[in-house]
Structure 1
């Protein structure tokens, strides 16, 4: 298996924010870039991996599409839109050589060969209402579709990983990618000939928003990793980098994490019923704040990990890391400072700033709107996700995405289904059960809480 195709950067979480400093050059004050500034520059302008495909693949891949594509030379804007819609990518809000977020020009430092590679923003760069945001989870991404088309257009063998990458748009399987990559390294990060057979089976999951990591003491959905760990967020480059290269890059990734901790959530762009929101705040602080925190004046976040039998949500992701995988990871360079907690508890209750923009909900993206989240009886079991994140598909009352509810099918049929716009909760790890705390609210109370959540 070509491990480079699995390499990318995932969720970053370091509770450090560095500020710029002034120095004097010949009597002139010069403001040095802060760690956050350096991190933003590194994240948006550099590629940390060798090219996987040729530069021409961006245009060549259209030959595989069912519909005739706009000409990329005479109509580059329409071509870029068609390309982005097919693979679920979004315009870059920074200079990116005309490419969408998630694709980057890259140069092999050994051979000088130039080409394209994915980067962390393929998953962590999203858009809503026509505006792109670094750090918004990409709820449209079709990762397996992109890889399959790129490899076929490149005339190479069919893309194969040995595990599920995604069965539905907007979901990714970063956990299994990392588990495969670390299994092929020894504690000193030299390569193994035979992988560690750790037996872990991660499911695909939703991509969380980066703007909330600054509040966390622990990170990832199970809350088992210290949020100060820089190294844990570099593991997706294990398909390519050596121990020495990781050590050299560690300060740069500390800067990137400082930038991510400076990101602020976008404000809700539609009118809010202020009186109703005040009522909702009171209900929220009585019913929800113990787990999710308070958001008036200085936010206060409790960093709670909720037991599986209490939260009741699909347990597959929490149970996925085997003891052998955890112990192997903890024996490596990545865990020297911050080992993964050996005890599995459940799921971390997330901070909720910008929650209006982060639909679908739960760790696996199985719930389309906040109303569905707060009323478990209303949740659809099988539905088609919208074709874009434009506001024409956004539900301002329920807060989240309008979806087409579909009739249930057998588990066997759901497993065979190749339409990745369809979310089926009978699939592995994609159950929509649990988090029933809102069921006790009256419809009016639920509506008030939702109105308050728009303000966060």
Structure 2
């Protein structure tokens, strides 16, 4: 029976391939891919332009183009600049998030300059003890008011954890507690009594997690002072290097971290870190709240002219829980943030976490960003997604993946007879590719899908909120008042260029003066490496792709599995999420293994003075549908801007840290509804599409 079902599926996919949205012209099309060569599959081998399988695996066209070419080679135009009004009109793939150039030094000129920018950006953003590393509110300077002593860090086992002796695996346990893998590269710090600059010491014998770096002088001298980096939110891990050299700790992937726990710990080492402990940015491990204008507007408070506007937006809704998007897709986007609120070329915000000494020298801090933004962006856009590791997760079923490729690109989810209850987008062919872009060489080279094969994998469609219908808190947080305030903010390019209304073209594109008749909604992301990017949706509310495609498979309250504590330390240390492919990954549903929890398992607020707890779960065991404290907090967060960041349960115990791993979809901003239009897919079709997504 199973073989018969899949035979029917393959037959249906073949029919769709011929007439369900593809003109068939791609089978004789001789266009080339973005490398200037024939399209490549996930393993890097050339594939025909009529092939159904193949992926450039994200990154940016320029890096692919320059691969193996001399430094003197001129770099061509950026394909994303083709995404302007009128592009792809009447095609299968929709586009409405237009490109906008925001600075005049974007083009690297030659492949040599591209490589220089890439190398400088690696040091700046990845950090990890490299000369030129950037760190929190410090630029790439060797001294930081937010720095803390390596000697204090090395003693956390005693000062914070309360252990009787230093565990042999201390470095790994810090990485587990904070949810940041140890760096792949040497990322050293000195243990107590060590001189990091002594012969042969090379920074110290300790190894830091990828979200922390030891500061260095311009001549490379180690300082023994540490600071945190962008990887506290934008670093993570998938599998291990034993699975594939591409896997293990990874830059710019889904977060594993609990940054509130990290800053709470650091506040006990360095009082100046207390401000970050107070301005908590997440309530669930692996998520953050860092992309709203209310928050990054705090970085320009030294510009007192904008202070009234910033204060006024604190009564607007909080954007709530968000799941940091992967960086290897930045080069395939025309807009950033989940609602497409800024153009991808608005690069200033990318270095906002490094914004140096802005209260003492705001103009100097701005200049530092302008001088370094191209390097940081070049490195981020050059990152590639990992290929599906067949040796660890099993071979891809090529025949089934090919059927999935056809379904992904050509199946109309609103076709007669499917009775899809969700409103249909205007235009496109009604397929997954209609919003997420075309990836298969057959379709990327088909003029019925894309104006140019160079648009392969570029996703630039903001799906109207009434169609996508996922949690609206992120969208609500970018309210009319926030849009107006954004016109004043330097990170939103308040210095222009401007449109005829005097609104910056690189500002907040939720502003009706910029977006015109484009409906507000969420930007459909590119899907390179999507198999490795769980959990899904902008708030990380769905643990696997099966749940994305089939809304009935989404858990209400769940907790991703953690790794076990070392023998002898059970109950004494906090361990992080299990990102092993052998024990943590769900190869059938494409996501992370988790436990589904009951209402009573939710987080609690300890009140030491009275010795009781107050449930913070959004359900009432005593009365179905009864009001809880969380409901009241939801009203406040929905009208309180930074209230989400400022109103947090103080962390007193390891049990609280453990409970911060629970994802409750009833919680403010954490709903798992929406994307309902894929419910019309059959089980066989979902399986084929999942098999295809493994190849991207």
Shorter-chain TM range is 0.7 to 0.9
Shift of 1:421: 1.3
1:413 maps to which residue?
617
Give, in whole Å, the separation in 2 of the partners of 1:148 and 1:252.
Answer: 30
Within a 5 Å distance, the mapping from 1:53-452 to structure 2 comes to: 53-63=148-158, 68=163, 71=166, 75=168, 78-97=169-188, 98-106=207-215, 115-130=225-240, 131-138=248-255, 140-154=256-270, 165-176=281-292, 179-183=294-298, 185=300, 192=307, 196-198=311-313, 199-200=315-316, 201-237=318-354, 240-241=357-358, 242-270=362-390, 271-286=395-410, 287-297=431-441, 298=453, 299-334=456-491, 335=493, 336-337=495-496, 338-341=506-509, 342-343=511-512, 345-387=520-562, 388-391=578-581, 392-409=583-600, 412-414=616-618, 415=630, 418=656, 419-452=659-692
Q: Secondary structure, in 3 states, of the residue corresponding to 1:144?
A: helix
Give, in whole Å, the separation in 2 of the partners of 1:157 and 1:188.
Answer: 23
Deviation larger for 293-302 or 421-430? 293-302
* Deviations 1:46-74, CA, capped at 9 Å, x for gaps: 124223322223222222555748736xx
* C-alpha contact (below 8 Å) 1:47/1:105 kept by paired residues: no
Give, in whole Å, the separation in 2 of the partners of 1:54 and 1:191.
Answer: 35
Shift of 1:114: 5.3
1:7 maps to which residue?
none
Q: Secondary structure, in 3 states, of the residue corresponding to 2:121?
A: helix
* C-alpha contact (below 8 Å) 1:313/1:431 kept by paired residues: yes
Give, in whole Å, the separation in 1 of the partners of 2:370 and 2:319.
Answer: 27
Give, in whole Å, the separation in 1 of the partners of 2:580 and 2:404.
Answer: 27
Give, in whole Å, the separation in 2 of the partners of 1:14 and 1:405.
Answer: 38
Deviation larger for 82-91 or 148-157? 148-157
1:9 maps to which residue?
none
* C-alpha contact (below 8 Å) 1:15/1:216 kept by paired residues: no
* Structure of higher CA gyration radius: 2
- TM-score where L is the length of structure 1: 0.85
- TM-score where L is the length of structure 2: 0.57
* C-alpha contact (below 8 Å) 2:120/2:375 kept by paired residues: yes
* C-alpha contact (below 8 Å) 1:60/1:153 kept by paired residues: no
- Give the alignment's Cα RMSD to 1 decimal: 3.1
Give the total of aligned pairs.
Answer: 430
Shift of 1:256: 1.1
Shift of 1:350: 0.4
Unaligned residue ranges in structure 1 (runs of 5+):
1-12, 24-30
Give, in whole Å, the separation in 2 of the partners of 1:345 and 1:132.
Answer: 35
Give, in whole Å, the separation in 1 of the partners of 2:228 and 2:216.
Answer: 13
